[in-house]
A and B are shown apart, each in its own frame.
Chain A
Amino acid sequence: MADFSEQSYRQPFPFLDIDPTMESLTQFAELNPQSFILDNSAFNFQTFFPLSINDSLFSNQASQGETMSGFIHNSNQSSVSAQPIFSAKTEVEEISNKRKALDILESSSGNSSSSSPQVSETGIKRRNNSGRGKRAKSNEKEMEKPKELVHVRARRGQATDSHSLAERVRRGKINERLRCLQDIVPGCYKTMGMALMLDEIINYVQSLQNQVEFLSMKLTAASTYYDFNSESDAMERMQRRKAEEAKELERLMREGYVGIGGVACFHSSSTYGPL
């Protein structure tokens, strides 16, 4: 059991291949058929991280001590062991810099911290709506923490959190779409941040528009060169042939009329015609 949990901790999150599903499910209140995976993993994490990490957590951030104790008072024992998941997660966050994994871990820890053994992702939202006044304190601390921890704190269950909840949903949607655009637009890397990505996207759109213009110019050239008189094309061919024949005749008369040979040349030239 411990081995498995170690493994699942070291490789960031074997769930990464089912990420898109996880993402959308964290954002939309739908029953997640795969959430049972999260539950299992959550339990694994709980067994993996000893309580000593808890203490280090408390010592590092003394101000959180109150909220921690508040957590312990108000939530189950399982939530305490869920604490280290957050810290470990933030460290891993810095290492791997994958917010997808974060969401998965968040949801897993969220599931573990809920008192009811429900298996759905909506547990996150329901927890948020549960009226826990003591969480309001941690809300204020959200502002100072990095964005990921904000997610974590809010996930703990906030009554006054409708704003940050909606904010999180909105950010998740934006990230999802940015990811799609990243796949479409070449040369777009998520590590570049939103501004640079948008720059790349704008460049790409403009280059595509340039391509359309260039191709329409090419089409113009092709159409004017090839069939600008599609109806009178046959007429043109005849005229061209006549002009060519006239030229041939002139040349022959200049070089000197060579009886049958000249006539043969004349015929052969006329059979070529315009290609």
Chain B
Amino acid sequence: MMNTPQQVKNPSSSLKSRFITRFLGALTKITAEDPILSSSPTRIFQRYRRIKVASNKSMAYSVRSRRIWSRAMLSRFRSRRSAFSGRRSSVKTTNCGEAMDVCNLLDETAHYIKCLTTQVQVMRKIVDFYHLSK
């Protein structure tokens, strides 16, 4: 994980650990409350969507409101909970109401990329754990 000189995070409460906690909690909830008894494609697809949304949501909640993109995503989650939210739009097409000049946009992009890479890293590790432990 990247650490800019200005933001040296306490490792116990870093973005990564917050995301891991939240995402694992959501994951266990998803796998526990809705067991797939038959391998029907719709159920599997539903679970896939829920896991994906949980992953994005966990990351947005871990960042909280400190970033423009997380605020936009959180508002989107809250307002469009029922609608099918496909792949979230890139930062550049985010419909956030805040003024976004080039400088802030680049800032947000850098932070967003960092969070995405954390997400990918953690999810990979979880998949590995699944393969290893079972």
Let me know if B52 and A213 touch, CB within 8 A.
yes
Give the number of chain B interface residues (Cβ < 8 Å): 41
Chain A interface secondary structure, helix, strand, loop or mixed? helix
B106 CB contacts on chain A under 8 angstroms: 174, 177-178, 180-181
- B123 — nearest CB in chain A belongs to which residue? A215
Q: Given the interface contacts A184-B113, A215-B127, does A223 sit within 8 Å of B56 by beta carbon? A: no
Q: Given the interface contacts A181-B110, A217-B48, does A212 sit within 8 Å of B116 by beta carbon? A: yes
Let me know if B90 and A205 touch, CB within 8 A.
yes
B2 CB contacts on chain A under 8 angstroms: 184
The reply to whether the CB of A37 lies closer than 8 angstroms to some CB of chain B is: no
The reply to whether the CB of A204 lies closer than 8 angstroms to some CB of chain B is: yes
The reply to whether the CB of A216 lies closer than 8 angstroms to some CB of chain B is: yes
Q: From B39, B113, B127, give the contact of A219 (CB < 8 A).
A: B127
Let me know if A218 and B127 touch, CB within 8 A.
yes
Q: Given the interface contacts A174-B106, A227-B31, does A212 sit within 8 Å of B39 by beta carbon? A: no
- B126 — nearest CB in chain A belongs to which residue? A219
The reply to whether the CB of B64 lies closer than 8 angstroms to some CB of chain A is: no
Let me know if B107 and A177 touch, CB within 8 A.
yes
A211 CB contacts on chain B under 8 angstroms: 116, 120
Q: How far is the CA of A177 from the CA of B111 in the complex (A)?
A: 11
Q: Given the interface contacts A181-B106, A218-B127, does A209 sit within 8 Å of B116 by beta carbon? A: yes
The reply to whether the CB of A258 lies closer than 8 angstroms to some CB of chain B is: no
Let me know if A205 and B113 touch, CB within 8 A.
yes
Let me know if A206 and B39 touch, CB within 8 A.
no
Q: From B107, B117, B124, give the contact of A215 (CB < 8 A).
A: B124
Within 8 A of A (CB), among B52-102: 52, 55-56, 87-88, 90-92, 102
The reply to whether the CB of A230 lies closer than 8 angstroms to some CB of chain B is: yes
Looking at the assembled complex, report how far the CB atom of A165 sits from the nearest CB atom of chain B, in whole angstroms: 16
Q: From A201, A209, A222, A229, give the contact of B130 (CB < 8 A).
A: A222
A173 CB contacts on chain B under 8 angstroms: 103
Residues of B within 8 A of A (CB): 2, 27, 30-32, 35-37, 39, 44, 47-48, 51-52, 55-56, 87-88, 90-92, 102-103, 106-107, 109-110, 112-114, 116-117, 119-120, 123-124, 126-127, 130-131, 134
- Selected A-B contacts with CB under 8 Å, 5 pairs: A202-B92, A205-B109, A205-B113, A222-B130, A228-B31
